[in-house]
Amino acid sequence: MKNTGTLAVTTPTDRGIVMTRVFDAPRRLVFDAWTKPELLKRWLGVFGGWSLAVCEIDLRVGGGYRYVWRGPDGAEMGMRGVYREIVPPERLVATESFDEPWYPGEAVDTIVLREHGGRTTATTTVLYQSREARDIALKSGMEQGVAAGYDKLAELLASQVAQGGSSSGV
């Protein structure tokens, strides 16, 4: 089960956020879980008292999707987008824009599924219109609520020391 369940989030380009995650299932199932409303409602953003109350999908190029989440105290968050590429069970490209925009412009999501020995590596890339938009999106995510520890950044910095150590000859 090594590497299954570990989510890697990186910002390898100015406008992008890339997430990688391994699932212990063939990609056919992962693709279904990502494109069928009754399945998406079971997992996407469903935690902390939130449910994916509305999930409508018109799975064809140029077709749209619509998600509305409902949270505690009647809070709602809606988003929609249009499918640009659909290659079952390996690739899905769609735009995303929120009803109440929290970053400028719309973003483009690309989901790529690769299968090895019955397991699927899902790589999700979110490409924003500008670096500013990407940074705002990231910051908003933070303001939604996590007081994360200092440990992770310390680890990151320490690993940079380890990497830089040999080149600087220290």
Helix (H) or strand (E) holding 49: none
What character string, x for contact with other proteins (CB under 8 A) and - otherwise, covers 120-149? ----x----------x-xxxxxxxxxxxxx
Task: Give the span between the Cα atoms of 99 and 67, in whole angstroms.
Answer: 10
Distances (CA, A) of 157 to 71, 135, 152, 163: 36, 20, 9, 10
The site that binds other proteins (CB under 8 A) totals a number of residues, namely 50
**Shortest Å, Cβ 62 to other proteins:** 26
| In the complex, minimum distance from the CB of residue 37 to other proteins, in angstroms, rounded to a whole number | 13
* 170 near other proteins, rule: CB under 8 A: yes
| Owner of token pair 């910051």 | 139
Q: List b or e across 139-159, with b for residues whose CB sees 16 or more CB atoms inside 10 angstroms.
A: eeeeeeeeeeeeeeeeeeeee
Of 81, 110, 96, residue with least CA distance to 19: 110
Out of 16, 18, 25, 97, name the contact with other proteins by CB under 8 A. 25
Binding mask 68-107 for other proteins (x = CB under 8 A): ----------------------------------------
Which residues lie closer than 8 Å to 46 by C-beta, 6 or more apart? 52
CB of 90 to other proteins, least distance (A): 16
Residues near other proteins, by CB under 8 A: 4-5, 7, 9, 11, 17, 19, 21, 23-25, 29-30, 32-33, 39, 42-48, 124, 135, 137-150, 152-154, 156-158, 160-161, 164, 168, 170
